[in-house]
Amino acid sequence: MLEMSGVAKRYRTATVETRALEGVNLSVLEGEFVAIVGPSGSGKTTFLNVAGLLESFDEGTYELDGDDVSKLNDSKRSRLRNQKIGFIFQNFNLIPDLSVFDNIDVPLRYRRFPARERKDRIQNALDRVGLLGRIHHLPGQLSGGQQQRVAIARALVGEPRLLLADEPTGNLDSKTAEGVFDLLLELHSSGSTILMVTHEDSLASHTTRSIHIRDGFFESE
Amino acid sequence: MLRYNIFLAARGIRRHPILSALMAVAVALGIAMFMSIFTISQSMSKNPLPQKNDFLYRVQLDAGDPNRPGDDPENRPHQLTYMDALALMREGWALRQSAMFGISAIIRPEGAEVPFEVFGRAAYSDFFSMFDAPFKYGGPWSDPADENRERVVVLAASINDQLFGGEDSVGEHITLKEELFRVVGVLEEWNLLPRVYDYEWSPTEDTFIPFTTAAEMEFDRRGSTNCWQSIPGQGHQAFLASECIWIQFWVELSDPSERTSYLSFLDSYANQQKELGRFQRPLDNAMHTIDEWSKYIRAVDEGIVVTIIIALLFLIVCLINSIGLLLAKFLSRNSELAVHRAMGASRVQLFTRFLVESACIGFTGGLLGLVFAWLGLMGIRVLFRGESVVAHVTQLDFSLAVGTILLAIAASLAASLYPAWRGSRGTPASLLRDAK
Amino acid sequence: MLELGPIFRSLLRRKTIGVLIAVQIAVVIAILLNLQVGVSYQLQALNQESGIDHQNMFYMNVHIAEPNLNPDAIASIVNADLDYIRKTSGVIDAVQTISVPYSGSGWSMSIEVDPADDIRPTVCYFRMIDDRGLNALGINLLAGRNFRPEEVEWRIPYGASSPNQVLLSQQLAEHLFPDATLAEIVGRQVHLTGPMTVVGVVATSHGPWASIDQVHRIAYVPQKQAFDSSTYVVRTTPGKLEETIRTLEQNLPTIYRNRLIRHIESIEVAKKRLYQGQNASVWVFSVTSIALLFVVVCGMTGMVNFAIRRRTTHIGIRRALGATQFDIMRNLLVEYALILCVGIGIGVPMAIGLNVYLVTNQEFEPLMAMSSALIVMATLAVCLLAVVFPAQQVSKLDPAQITRSV
C-alpha cells in the first residue's frame, strides 16, 4: 500500500540547512491504522506532507499503491492526491465561505464527477459522519466536533485508498475528541487504511501499530 | 471545470469585495480614458472616402510670394490663384478635375420678405462624381453649363426639405443673390466628415453652383484668401487677375500610376509661367491624396497625440495597480488555496482559476469602463457645446463597446499573470503551514 | 535613530509590493508633471488679457441682400446704422471694423519697416476703424494721437486704397522697432498696404483668432467699409449688454430692410467659443490628474494594507517588546516614504524624458522646476496618507492578541 525507503527531506535557507526527515523507512499494509507519535518539532508534520504528496523529498523512494511517486510532476501528483488520499487536519481546514455541501464537493470537482454522482456521494459521506441535516450550513455555524466530522466526510467522499490524519483531535475538547476518534476507529474497522500523526501516546495505543519519531528519525518499531 | 472556476471566482470576489472593487474601478478608469481618447483620435483621422484615396489628388502650385510671408511661410500655398485654376481646368489633363471655393449666398424663398443665408460651393460638374456625392433626384449639371455660366444649382437634402418639402424639385427655380437658379439635382443626406475637399470639420454645403457662374456673379467667398501682392487695379476683375490665392483644386486620375505624369505636367505649366515672370519661387509643386493631405495640413490636432500618450501611461498605472491588488488578493488566501491543493487541485488548475477570477473582474471593469467612457465623451460634448462635429467624433458605437470590454478583460488577464503565478506557486505544505 | 537598516532589509525581503508601488509612483509622476505643464500652458492662453472692455461688448455682422448696390448707397446705410447704434440708450460707442477680437474671422497682412531690406515681413492683423474706434473698443492710446475724423476714408470692395496713417498695437510696434521707445516710434514710416506714418501706439488687444503663444500684432487704419457685409462692434454701459443686443437685433434691419443679421454675439461668448479647445484641454487634463491620484491612492491603500497585514505578527512582537503605537506608525511611514522616494527618483527622469519627447515632437512646453517640485511633494503627501490608515489600524492592534496566535 505505502512503501518508503530512505526518504530524507531538508529545508535550506541561504545559510542554514535543517534536516526535517532522515532515512525514513516505512511500509503500511492495506487496512492498517498506523500512528506516528512524536513531540512537536520532531518532523511528523513534514512526514505527513511528504506522505500526502504535498511536498517533494530529497532522497529515497516512495511507492504509493504501486506507483513510484518520487519522480512525478505536480499535475500527476495532484491527480494521485485527489484520487488516493484523503486529508484530515488538526484545524479542520474547512473553507469558511463555502457551505458544508460545497466543502465536501471540492475533491469531487477536481475529479470531474457528474453532478448527480457528486450529490449522491456527498450525501452518503455526510450520512456516515452523522451530519446529513447540516448539509447547507456554513462551517462557522457548526461546533468544533461537527466541523471535524465534515472534514472527515470530505476526506472520505472520494473513497481514497489512504486517509492521512494530522492530530485529528488536537483542537477538540476530550469528550468531542473521543467521538471523532471513535469515528476513525469505525472507518478503520470497515476497511480504511489510516496513517495518523499525533503527540498523544494514549491515542496510539488504540491503533494497529505505532511508530515514534524524534528529530526526523523514525525509531525502531 | 470552467463553471466551477466561475463559482469559485464569485466566492473569491465576495471574499475581498473592496480589493476587487478597487481593481475593477482602476481597470474601468484606465480603459475608459484610453478608449474615449482612442475613439476621438480614430474618428478624427478617418478618411471618409477611402475608396477614392488612390485616385483623388489635391493640387498645389507654388505661386507664392518670393519673400515668403503668409501663414505658412516655409511651404507652398495650399490654394491656387484664379488664373492658374482656370488654366489647369482648360488643359483638362486628368480624368476629372474641379477648381472650387466656398461661397455664402443669400437665398430668398418665394414670397418671403426676409432672406436667409446659405453656405454653398462653387465647383465644376466633375465635382460630384469625384467626391461620390449621392444624388436623390436629377444629377450634376452638364459640362456646357460650366462653360456658359448657367444659373443652375444642386441642392443638399436639408435645403430641399426646407424649400420644397423634400419633393423632387428638379426643374424648379430658387433665388440666389437675387437671380433665378434652376434646380438640376438634389443630393441625398451626405455626411462627408471631415469635409475633405476643403478640409474642415463641418458638414458639406447646402448649395452647389457652377464655379464660372459664381465667379461671374461675384458670390461672397468663404474661406481664406491670401494676397501677397496688392491687387493691380480696381474691382472684381482685377481681383480675379491678381496673384491672390483662394481656390482649392482637385483632380481624379484614372490610375494612380499617372501621378508622376500629372506632376510633370504641373511642373511644365509652372516653368511656362516662370518664363512669363510669375512663380518666382523655386519649382515646388505637389499632389496629395486625401490621407496625405490631412497629414500635410495637420488636420488632426497635435494635442490628441499628447493625450493618447497620457492615456496610455494612465492605463499602465492602472495595470500596475491591478497587479498589486491581485497579488494582495491571491496571496492573502493561502489557507483556502492549501485546502484545494490538498484536495487535489494542481498548480495549473489554481492558475486557471485565478485567471478566471481576474477575467470576471476585468469584465465588470469593462462594463463600468463603458459607463465612464460614455460620461467622458458626454463631458467632451459639453465642453464643445454647439459643435455638431464633436457629436460625430464622440459616438459610442457597438464595436467600441465590445472593444472596451475585450480590452478590459485582456488588460486584467495581463495584470493577473504574475499574481496568479505567485499565488499558485507556493507548495501546498507551506500554504497549510501558513494556514495555521 | 530611525532604524533605517532594518526597515531597508525588510523592504528587500518583501520586494514585489514595494517595486509595484515605486514603479506606479514613477509613472504617475511622469504623467502628472507633464499634465501640469499642459494645464498651466493652456491656462495662460485662456487667461490672457483681452485688452478691450470685453465684458460690455458685442459684435454683429449685417449683410445687405441687394446685389450690386453702389458704394455710395452702402456708405450711407453704414453711416445711418452707426448713427442709430451710437444713439441707442446704453451704448457707449460703436465702430464698424473687421478682425473683431475673438470673432474667428479677419484679415491678416504683411507689414514691414522697409520693403527694400531683406528682413522677412511681419504678419499682423488688420483692423479698419474710424476716429471713434478706440473708444468703441475700449483700447487705450499709449503714445501719439488717435485718428482724426477727416483722415477716415471709405474702402470699397476690391479697391486698392491705402490710407497714410496707421496705429500700431504695442506688441507690433515693439516688434517692428525693437530699439525705440513708444514715443519715438510715433512718426516713423512703415509699409502696410502702402507707405504709412505711425501716428500712435495703442494698448495690445486680442486678435481675431486664438493665440496660444499670446502674440497679438495689430495694425489699425482709418477706414470705413462700403462692403455689402458690415461688422459693428458695440460697447455698452455695464449691465446693458443683453438688452442692447435685443434692441439692435430688432431695430437695425428697419433702417434698411433688404438685409439680414448673420451673426450677433457678445465678445464674452465668442471668447469662450474660440478657446473651447484650450478650455477642454484644461478639463481633460485636470480630470485625468484627479482620476490618476484617485486610482493611485486606492491601489496603494489596498497594497499597503495587504503588505502590513502580512506582518501583523512581526509588528505584534515588536509591540510586545515595548514599541509604542507611535513607533510602529513612524516606522511604517518611513518605510513607505522610502519606497515612494525611490519611485520619485525613477519618476522625475521619466517625466523629463517624456517632456523632452513631447517638446521636440508635439509642440509641448518644458517642465518648470518650482511647480514640478510642488507636484512631487503633493503626490508624496497624498500617497503617504494612503499609508496612514492601514498603518494606524495595525498599530492599534492589541499586542497580546497578536502574539497569542503565533
Closest residue in A to B341 (Cα) is: A78
Calpha distance C218→A54 (Å, rounded): 84
SS3 at position A91: coil
Q: Is B332 on the interface with A (CB under 8 A)?
A: no
Tell me if A54 and B428 make a contact (CB, 8 A cut-off).
yes
Cα distances (Å, whole numbers) of residue A105 to A108, A122, B92, B343: 5, 7, 83, 10
Average pLDDT over residues C217-232: 94
What average pLDDT does the structure give for chain A?
88
- Residue matched to cell numbers 509641448: C364
Give the amino acid at B307.
Answer: T
Query: What is the C-alpha radius of gyration for chain B, rounded to an integer number of angstroms?
Result: 31
- State how far the Cα of C386 lies from the Cα of C307, in Å rounded to an integer: 13
Q: Which residue from B minimizes the CA distance to A107?
A: B343
User: Does one domain contain both C229 and C293?
Assistant: no
Distance of CA A183 to the CA centre of its chain: 14
AA letter at B314 = F
> Both B258 and B406 in a single domain?
no
Q: Does B336 touch chain A (CB under 8 A)?
A: yes
Q: Domain holding A159: CATH number?
A: 3.40.50.300
Which of B242-251, C122-131, C391-400 has the least mean pLDDT?
C391-400
Of C228, C284, C305, the CB nearest to B307: C284
**Gap between the Cα atoms of C314 and C402, Å rounded:** 9
With bands split at pLDDT 50, 70 and 90, how would you rate the model's confidence at C10? low
Q: C86 and C151 in one domain?
A: yes
3-state secondary structure of C195: strand
Give the residue numbers spanning the domain of C364. Answer: 4-47+276-405
CB atoms within 10 A of CB A33: 23
Residue B315 and residue B385 share a domain: yes
Is it the case that residue C8 has pLDDT exceeding 70?
no
The ipTM estimated for the assembled molecules is 0.89
Q: Answer yes or no: do C197 and C76 share one domain.
A: yes
Domain with B104, as residue range(s), is 54-288
Q: Among residues B230, B257, B288, which one ends one of the domains? A: B288
> Of B113, B322, B383, which is closest to C279 when you measure between CB atoms?
B383
Who's near C18: CB < 8 A, 6+ residues apart? C11, C307, C339
- Asked if C15 is an interface residue toward chain B (Cβ–Cβ < 8 A), one would say no
Residue A110: list chain B partners with CB under 8 A: 340, 343-345, 349
**Cα B210 from Cα B207, distance rounded (Å):** 10
Residue C27 lies in a domain: yes
CB A196 within 8 A of CB A184: yes
Predicted pLDDT of residue C1? 45
Each residue's pLDDT, cut to its tens digit, for chain B (436 residues) gives 788 888 888 888 888 888 899 889 999 999 998 888 888 887 777 888 999 999 999 999 988 877 765 556 567 889 999 999 999 999 999 999 999 999 998 888 877 767 888 999 999 999 999 999 999 999 999 999 999 999 999 999 999 999 999 999 999 999 998 899 999 999 999 988 889 999 888 889 999 999 999 999 999 899 888 887 777 888 889 999 999 999 999 999 999 999 999 999 999 999 999 999 898 888 889 999 999 998 888 777 767 888 888 999 999 999 999 999 998 888 888 778 888 888 888 889 999 999 999 999 999 999 999 999 989 888 888 888 777 777 777 777 788 889 889 999 999 999 999 999 988 887 666 556 544 4
pLDDT for the residue C406: 40
Domain assignment of residue B198, yes or no: yes
Domain that holds residue A77: 31-56+73-220
Instruction: Tell me how far apart the alpha carbons of residues B252 and B256 are, in angstroms, rounded to a whole number.
Output: 9
Same domain membership, residue C355 and residue C298 = yes
From residue A22, alpha-carbon distances to A6, A60, B143, C34, C400 in Å are 7, 10, 103, 62, 37
**Residues of C whose CB is below 8 A from B313:** 27, 30-31, 354
Do B371 and B235 share a structural domain? no
Q: Between chains, do C283 and B303 touch, taking CB under 8 Å as contact?
A: no
Residue C292 touches partner B, C-beta closer than 8 Å: yes
Do the domain assignments include residue B227?
Answer: yes
- How many degrees, rounded to 5, is the angle at CA A184 between CA C405 and CA A205? 85
Q: Give the chain A residue whose CA is nearest to the CA of B11.
A: A97
Which residues of chain B have a CB within 8 Å of the CB of C351? none
Nearest by Cα to B309 from C357, C42, C344: C357
List of chain B residues whose C-beta atoms are within 8 Å of the C-beta of residue C303: 324-325, 327-328
Give Cβ neighbours of residue A167 (< 8 Å, ≥ 6 apart): A90, A197, A198, A199
User: In this structure, are C126 and C202 located in the same domain?
Assistant: yes
**For residue B295, what pLDDT is reported?**
86
Q: Are residues C84 and C116 in the same domain?
A: yes
Total-model pTM = 0.83
> Rounded to an integer, what distance in angstroms lies between the CA atom of residue B396 and that of residue B378?
10
Does residue C394 form part of some domain? Answer: yes
Contact A110 B343 (CB under 8 A): yes
User: Which residue has better confidence, B300 or A30?
Assistant: A30
In a domain, B421, yes or no: yes
pLDDT over 60 at C11, yes or no: no
Total residues belonging to chain C: 406
Chain B residues closer than 8 Å to C159 by CB? 234
What does the pLDDT look like over C143-198, one tens digit per residue? 999 999 999 999 988 876 789 999 999 999 999 999 999 999 999 999 988 899 99
Residue C44's closest CA among C203, C208, C213?
C213
Q: Name A163's bridge partners.
A: A86, A194
**What chain B residue is nearest to C162 in terms of C-alpha separation?**
B230
Distances (CA, A) of B180 to B110, B124, B163, B205, B212: 11, 19, 14, 19, 16
What's the pLDDT tens digit per position in C100-115? Answer: 999 988 988 889 898 8
Q: What is the mean pLDDT of residues A163-168?
A: 90
Rounded percentage of chain A residues whose pLDDT exceeds 90:
35
User: Looking at beta carbons, which residues of chain B come within 8 Å of C21?
Assistant: 324
Q: Is residue B293 part of a domain?
A: no
Decide: A and C in contact? Rule: 3+ Cβ pairs under 8 Å. no
In the predicted model, is pLDDT for residue A24 greater than 90? no
Characterize the bridge pairing of strands B179-187 and B152-155.
Answer: parallel
Q: What is the pLDDT of residue B73?
A: 54
**Cα–Cα distance for residue pair A90/C210, rounded to 1 Å:** 77
Write down which chains contact chain C via at least 3 CB pairs under 8 A: B
Domain count, chain B: 2
Residues C145 and C216 in one domain: yes
Q: Which residues 251-290 of C have a C-beta within 8 angstroms of B?
A: 257-258, 260, 262, 273, 276-277, 279-281, 283-285, 287-288
Q: Span C343-356, mean pLDDT?
A: 95
CB contact under 8 A, B340 and A112: no
Q: Contact, B63 vs B283, CB < 8 A? A: no
DSSP tag of B126: H
Across C296-313, average pLDDT: 86
Q: Do A75 and B11 touch (CB under 8 A)?
A: no
The residue-averaged pLDDT of C71-78 equals 93
Per-residue model confidence (pLDDT) at position B430: 58
Cell of C227: 462692403
B384–C17 C-beta distance less than 8 A: no
Cβ contacts of A79 on chain B, cutoff 8 Å: 344, 346
Q: Is B348 on the interface with A (CB under 8 A)?
A: yes
Q: Are B432 and A82 in contact (CB < 8 Å)?
A: no
In a domain, B306, yes or no: yes
Rounded to an integer, what distance in angstroms lies between the CA atom of residue C360 and that of residue C358?
6
Please write the tens of the pLDDT for every residue from C23-55: 999 999 999 999 999 899 889 989 998 999 999
Same-domain check for residues B308 and B263: no
| Residue C203 CA to its chain's centroid (Å) | 20
Look at residue A84 and tell me whether its pLDDT is greater than 80: yes
Distance from C238 to chain B by nearest Cα, in Å? 27
Task: Let me know whether B107 and B224 are in one domain.
Answer: yes
**C-alpha cell belonging to residue A28:** 503500511
List, as ranges, residues 28-47 from A with C-beta within 8 Å of B.
45-46
**Are residue B325 and residue B401 in the same domain, yes or no?**
yes
